[in-house]
Chain A
Amino acid sequence: MRVAQWLRSPTIGQAGGGRAMGQRSVPSRLPTRSPVAGLRRRGLSFPEVLAQSVSALAPSAAIVVVPSIVLVESGAATLPAFVVATLLVLLVGWCLTQFGRRMAAVGGTYSYTAKGLGPVGALVGGWALLVGYAAVAMSALTGAAVYTAGLLGARPTPGVVAVLAAGLGVLATLCTVRGIQLSARVALALEVLSIGVVLAVLGVLLLGARGGPGSAAPVVDAPVTWGGVAVAVVLGVTGFMGFESAATLGVEARRPLVAVPRAVLWTPAVAGLLFVAATAAQVVLLRAAPLDVLTSPVPVAELADREGLVLLRRVLDLGIAASFLACVTGSTNALGRVLFSMGREGVLPARLGRTHDRFETPHVALAVVLPAVVGVPVVALLAGGGPRAVLTASLTVSAFGYVVAYVLACLAMPLFLRRIGELTAPAAAGGLVAGGGGLVVLVGAMAGITVSGDRAVVVVFLAAMLPGLAWTAWLRLRDPGRLRPVGVYDTATASSVLPGSVPAGRRR
């Protein structure tokens, strides 16, 4: 389309290309229209931007499910390792803010990576990010359906879960198409509800905790081993996936260069605090519990059941279902926007770069996403996959995708800063440490340290990456011109500078 043609014009190619640092930048003519125009500009307040990141992370689901899994593997190493995981994610977040303070992107870490590693690195990271968002949306959809079934009193058989997943998936997508503000507010409300519920349930259980150690105590307090630490750090990090998704709201956030970096940094900070506090509470609770509670799918819910607090368990189910549903909308929003960016650049069909006239959302990209996000889990469930297996397998695939995207973006950061002549020593060190740390997590996960614990998911992830890698290679070899616009963001336009200070370009 027109925008894509304009992006391929030589002036922009030049501006995006590497120029020796320190050399005076000659102001080219400014465009009159942003390359990512069409989305509703500058409408989201900071809480709404934060809601995007928090909902994609789904903290309440993570803090109920992940700690017990890790406790079984890691024992006493769990809590300190979660602190390490939080610090690593904060460092990754800090690396991303270096981009976020300088450019308002719609493609999240994909657009960021492009500014440091160029189009090929960006497309690899971008495709991994797409896999991450899509797989986590599938996982959360399955989760939402399982817990909704529990709420309705139905047995979560694959058939029931499939029907509910289809319904909830359509609902969530309609929400995202209708408007980013609506879906951000829905996500915010759902998250406040679910975090409040989970904290309340943990509080009530702690108040009623009995003193003596139960049969789970030896497992919970098992001695620290290196293997245990590794498992806890890797799974701890995967608990934060999605925290960066506010980076897809560069156009839609108010004061994006302030709000987006803040959301990307606050989300892991707050989630980390919740994560560590909830883990500490569960250590206390599970130490006093029988072993079969610890190994049950959701020990907190099991505990509530054993205490005879059936209502509490229902409330907890509601909270987790809400968190999962918010995660579906959050991930779908982000997924749609990354596809939208690729559509605008022309590396994917330009239709994906269309926006709805009235709702001002990337409705084509979101509509393309829907069948995949709903279809894959429904087919997997109907084919006989257990809901829990589908949930954990897709969660694991998404974690691979995210980590690949994070590693590339962190490594791109110092290169980006060097290109624009603003590299400092802490930034260079931060990028390398975060990228290296992410790489270690990736290797650990590939070696089998995952929530699902199944090596087959590695194959699934690689298979999901294949089309993206193949397409990137094809473009690189056959049509490198189409790669040039990669990395579009909300560029300065003639109306954003002091009138008269920079010449404006002719209208198209």
Chain B
Amino acid sequence: MSPVDRGITGRQPKAVQSALAVLESVARAGAGVTAKEVCEDLGLPPATTYRLLNLLVGEEYLVRLPDLHGFALGRKVAGLAGWASPAQVPTAAREVVADLRGRVRHAVHLVVYSGPVLRCVDVDPDHPLRSVEAVERHLHASAVGKLLLAEQPDWREVVHPRRMHALTPRTVTRPADLDAELRAVRATGLATQAGQLHEGVSCAAVAVRSPSDVLVGALAVSVAGEDAALAAARAEGARDHARQLGPLLG
């Protein structure tokens, strides 16, 4: 059904190679490269190049810049590379988090976002997460995951509705319910989960935004029990530190 299936099948290795070559060419040339330049760079016929570019833009691996003739790598590319690259967190940012930990008695964690990927880069050493992998993978169930999903143009591209597994009885598994929740997240800049990832643990996360308003990370607090309001109240106290982190991470 998808155009990838229709336009390029597994039996057309040449087309797949060309598409990847187009992607590489844009990556090499940098943001703003035009279709004509890609064409010249690769020596492909113009019509083929344009078709492949449009295909990659349709799938959001590439983005057309506002002038409509320049291309840049899309946020989906971060999803390809996100797991491999080690996240660098400036010392100044770690100090802000440490300062917050010194003031409160619950767990404080720092995550950073890159496109559709999140990484737990500074887990509270005194109250470690039960499973870093679970937080990074089950975005529909974790507070930091919901913050990320709320920022996506279409969260279904990051978490397929069929992969919304029920990790606990309280996990949100209906797309419509998650939709409603993400709307609230967008309005408040704060996401919560109460016993949705692991039973008996609640978590709330506040967004860290760069000076240009891009979501770059989140401060998460976790508390025992399944009370979302309590977690949210604790996270409200972290907003100041989240604001300080913005310029450090963005």
Give chain A's interface residues, CB within 8 Å of chain B: 12, 15-16, 19, 21-28, 30-32, 41-43, 46, 101-103, 115, 254-255, 257-258, 262, 419-422, 424, 426, 491-492, 494-499, 501-507
User: How near does chain A come to B245, taking the closest CB pair, in angstroms?
Assistant: 16
| List of B residues within 8 angstroms of A491 by Cβ | 66
CA distance A480 to B36 in the complex (A): 32
A16 and B75 form a contact (CB under 8 A): no
User: How near does chain A come to B56, taking the closest CB pair, in angstroms?
Assistant: 10
8 Å CB contact of A27 from B31, B78, B216: B31
B153 and A25 form a contact (CB under 8 A): no
CA distance A165 to B15 in the complex (A): 54
8 Å CB contact of B36 from A16, A262, A421, A503: A421
Asked if B3 is at the interface of the complex by the 8 Å CB criterion, the answer is: yes
Q: Which secondary structure characterizes the binding site on chain B?
A: mixed
B3 and A498 form a contact (CB under 8 A): no
User: How near does chain B come to A254, taking the closest CB pair, in angstroms?
Assistant: 5
User: How near does chain B come to A82, taking the closest CB pair, in angstroms?
Assistant: 28
Asked if B84 is at the interface of the complex by the 8 Å CB criterion, the answer is: no
| List of B residues within 8 angstroms of A494 by Cβ | 212-214
Chain A residue at smallest Cβ distance from B2: A258
8 Å CB contact of A492 from B1, B47, B72, B215: B72
| List of B residues within 8 angstroms of A28 by Cβ | 65-67
CA distance A315 to B201 in the complex (A): 58
CA distance A41 to B70 in the complex (A): 24
Within 8 A of A (CB), among B134-167: 151, 153-154, 156-157
CA distance A497 to B114 in the complex (A): 10
| List of B residues within 8 angstroms of A102 by Cβ | 54, 57, 64, 68
8 Å CB contact of B35 from A257, A421, A498: A421
A101 and B214 form a contact (CB under 8 A): no
A504 and B32 form a contact (CB under 8 A): no
**Cβ contacts A to B, 12 pairs, < 8 Å:** A25-B65, A26-B32, A27-B31, A27-B32, A103-B64, A421-B34, A421-B36, A426-B47, A497-B73, A499-B113, A501-B31, A503-B212
Chain A residue at smallest Cβ distance from B112: A499
CA distance A254 to B216 in the complex (A): 24
Chain A residue at smallest Cβ distance from B61: A498
| List of B residues within 8 angstroms of A496 by Cβ | 60, 63, 74-75, 153
CA distance A323 to B78 in the complex (A): 45
8 Å CB contact of A499 from B30, B36, B67, B78: B78
Chain B residue at smallest Cβ distance from A498: B73
Add 17 more A-B contacts to A426-B47, A495-B214, A499-B115 (CB < 8 A).
A12-B66, A15-B65, A23-B34, A24-B34, A26-B32, A28-B65, A43-B154, A255-B59, A258-B59, A420-B68, A421-B69, A492-B63, A499-B214, A502-B31, A502-B72, A504-B210, A504-B212
| List of B residues within 8 angstroms of A21 by Cβ | 36, 69
Chain A residue at smallest Cβ distance from B73: A498
B65 and A502 form a contact (CB under 8 A): yes
| List of B residues within 8 angstroms of A258 by Cβ | 2-3, 58-59
| List of A residues within 8 angstroms of B2 by Cβ | 258
Given known contacts A16-B67, A492-B72, A499-B115, A422 and B35 CB-to-CB distance under 8 angstroms = yes
| List of B residues within 8 angstroms of A424 by Cβ | 46-47, 50
User: How near does chain A come to B243, taking the closest CB pair, in angstroms?
Assistant: 13
| List of B residues within 8 angstroms of A15 by Cβ | 65-67
| List of A residues within 8 angstroms of B68 by Cβ | 102-103, 115, 419-420
Asked if B77 is at the interface of the complex by the 8 Å CB criterion, the answer is: yes
CA distance A507 to B209 in the complex (A): 11
B32 and A30 form a contact (CB under 8 A): no
**A-contact bits for B212-239, CB 8 A (1 contact / 0 none):** 1111100000000000000000000000
8 Å CB contact of B74 from A25, A27, A421, A497: A497
User: How near does chain A come to B83, taking the closest CB pair, in angstroms?
Assistant: 15
| List of B residues within 8 angstroms of A32 by Cβ | 212-214
